[in-house]
Structures are given as C-alpha cells and as structure tokens.
Amino acid sequence: MSIPSARAALPARPATAPSRTAVEPTLLGLEVLRFACAVSVLLWHYNHFYMTGHTHQGFSVTGQPLYAWLTPFYEAGWLGVQVFWALSGFIFFWKYARPVADGQVPAWRFAVLRFSRLYPLHLLTLLAVAGMAWLYRSRHGVDYVYQYNDLPHFVLHLFLASDWPGRSEWSFNGPIWSVSIEVLVYGLFFVLCRLGLTRWWHVVGLIALSGALYASQATAHPVVLCVFFFYLGALTHLVHEALGRLPPGTRRLCLVAGSALLAGGTAATALGVLRPMFYVALLAPLAMLGLLRVVRPGPGPLADLIGTLGHTTYASYLLHFPLQLAVALLSGGQPDRLPLASPLWLLAYLGLTFALAVPVYRLIEMPAQAALRRRLLPR
C-alpha cells in the first residue's frame, strides 16, 4: 500500500541521461488519489467497530452512517488497496526504473530506501497492537477482529512478511498484509529492471501473465494480483509520458475518450455487468491520468495541503486499526455503547485518524527514516 511520495526527489542521474519532461516534478493528482484510497479503506473497515471479539454484534451494512452516500466504500472499499498498488507502480517506474536499470541505484541502496520508509512505523504499530491485543484477550477471552495473534505470526510481522504464506491469516495490525505483499513485488521490480525489462512490451507482458494467472485461478496467492496492478500503474506512467509528447488537441481528445470509457465502466458496474475488480482495473489508470491533468495548483497553501494529505496515507493506513482496538478496550468490548450509526462518530473516526497521521509522519516517520538512511547508506 505504501508508495514513495510523488513529490520526493529523483535519485541522482548522469548529466547525459535524457530528461523526462512529460512528468511533472510534483504529481499532486496522485496525492489526491492516494488520500481517496486511504479514506476508502478506512470506511471499509468501519464495520470493525461493531465487533465483539471477531464477530459482529447487531451489524447491518446498510445501517452504517451515511450509507446512501457512501455505499461503494462500505460495499467494496477494500479495492482501495489495489489502487494503492497501481499508484506504487506508477511512482516506482517514474522514480526508479531507469536509475536501477542503469546501475545508479544498487540493491543495498534500494532496500534501505524502502526499509527506512516502511519499517519504523510498522514496528511501532505492531508493538502497540500486540500489547492492546493481549489486554483485550485477557479481558474478554477472545481476540479482536484478527484471530491469529500468536508467536509464529508475530515473527512474520517482525520481518514484514505477514502474508507471504498467502493464507490470509490476518493478525495483529492486519492491514499491513498488503504492504507485506508489495514488498515482494519491490524485489521483483528491482530484478526485472536490472535485467533491462522496462520497455512497454515487457510491462504489457507482465500484466497479461499475471492477469491470466488471476483469471484462471491457478494460484490464490495475492502477489499475483499485486503484480498485475503494480505493472498496470507502470503502464499508466508510460502512457502519461506518451500523452505529454502529443499535441494539446490530440491530448484533449484522448482524455475525453478516457472520461467516456470511465463513465461507461461506471454504468456497467452499477448495472452488475462489470465486476468491481475489473472496474478498478479500469478506474485506476484513468483516474491517475485524469487527476494528473486536472490537479495542478501552483505553489501555495492548496499544494501544501494536498502534499500533506498524500504524505500521511501510510500513517493513516497503519493507525486506524490500533485506534479501533483502543476504542474497543475503552468501551469494554461492548459496541452497543457507541453511537456507531451517527455521522458525527464516523467523521470523528476519520478526522482523528488523519489528525494523528500528520504528527506521526512528521515526528516519527521522517526522523526515523532520516536516521536509518544516515546510518545504513554510504556517504
């Protein structure tokens, strides 16, 4: 789920390398989409509040606050994870593909850059959830939401490998599962880039192969779907570059055609003709391309706000379940004590999550990232 910021600096490159003028130095449209995906996952997990242990009590999907307005998120908000994977593919191809292929970013540097970004907050939230999960179990005799809170799963979490076995045995801070799968795809991406497999036909081939494996149900391991969406994002980056080289009139026609395709896909999904997963495979690239053209504020408060919202998506993703677990402890494990049907409760949940994510990003994530990079990377 976690992707490098679209505003981060590119790795150093030789002066003779061709510039990528088709890509803006700040891709604020992607930050907007990242934030939307984070909200989608938080709404999908709102049902956790209704749980006693790992079973729902008095829960109705349609009884959740503002259901009529938020139906797609309550019903299929989990698909925000797939869009996160596609965003990662876009950013990684923009930021790393050519430098890795040219040997400018060696394996150790690439690993440290990703480890320092992901691991500190993961470790912090893992320890917090482990402590609260133990307390919840000691009080109620069962685990809250995720049932596999044992030593073997804790060890997997320590190595950021919670879902590598592919069994969907979610445990501790469960949402980290998608990041653990994405880590595997980072490794694949690095190897393929070093082999020079970064051309558009290589990307299309990987999309086709992973899509065929998923459609045939040859394996249920989630890495297949992650590869599909990651390289769908990579292809979107290549298309974005190609659009930047077109005359303005032609580019506008392409964007209008994309908007029409998205509208048709939305209608087909609403009618039940198109499966939600296929719709997201259509939505992710078209939304990225459209937002990159539409969201272009100049330097100022709006750009800063969008950047902050994008930066804090990883923190909000990892913080929302610990917050829910804390609420469950404070309510005595009795969800009927909480005003869960109230829109104000929903807004408080979302607001508190993102309000905490900002200082966590600035005061924990960034200092820890900088310290690890100073210590582990050669000067």
* Number of domains observed in the structure of the chain: 1
pLDDT over 70 (residue 11): no
| Domain presence at residue 142 | yes
What burial letters (b/e) apply to 8-44, b meaning 16+ CB within 10 Å?
eeebeeeeeeeeeeebbebbbbbbbbbbbbbbbbbbb
Do residues 325 and 136 lie in contact, with contact meaning Cβ atoms separated by under 8 Å?
yes
Q: What is the mean pLDDT of the chain?
A: 90
| Domain presence at residue 50 | no
Q: What is the pLDDT of residue 9?
A: 40
| Domain presence at residue 6 | no
Q: What is the pLDDT of residue 27?
A: 84
| Average pLDDT of the segment spanning 181-200 | 95
| Domain presence at residue 324 | no
Q: What is the pLDDT of residue 2?
A: 55
Half-sphere exposure of 214 (CA within 13 A, CB side): 17
**Residue 87 CA: distances (Å) to CA of 38, 123, 321:** 12, 24, 23
Do residues 261 and 314 lie in contact, with contact meaning Cβ atoms separated by under 8 Å?
no
Which single residue is written with the structure tokens 């580019």? 251
Q: What is the pLDDT of residue 21?
A: 34
- Under the banding of pLDDT at 50, 70 and 90, the label for residue 112 is very high
| Average pLDDT of the segment spanning 340-357 | 96
Do residues 73 and 39 lie in contact, with contact meaning Cβ atoms separated by under 8 Å?
yes
Q: What is the pTM of this model?
A: 0.90
| Average pLDDT of the segment spanning 59-85 | 94
Q: What is the DSSP letter of 171?
A: -
| Average pLDDT of the segment spanning 74-85 | 94
| Average pLDDT of the segment spanning 303-328 | 93
| Average pLDDT of the segment spanning 26-55 | 92
pLDDT over 90 (residue 5): no
| Average pLDDT of the segment spanning 106-121 | 96
What's at 311, amino acid-wise?
Answer: H
Q: What is the pLDDT of residue 301?
A: 86
What's at 302, amino acid-wise?
Answer: L
pLDDT tens digits, residue range 192-223? 999 999 999 999 999 999 999 998 988 889 99
| Domain presence at residue 240 | yes
Pure H helices in the chain: 28-44, 67-76, 80-92, 98-101, 107-140, 151-158, 177-194, 200-216, 223-244, 248-270, 276-294, 301-311, 313-330, 343-360, 366-376
| Domain presence at residue 35 | yes
Do residues 161 and 64 lie in contact, with contact meaning Cβ atoms separated by under 8 Å?
no
Full residue range of the structural domain in which residue 115 is found: 28-45+65-295
pLDDT tens digits, residue range 114-140? 999 999 999 999 999 999 999 999 999
| Average pLDDT of the segment spanning 297-307 | 84
| Domain presence at residue 265 | yes
| Domain presence at residue 115 | yes
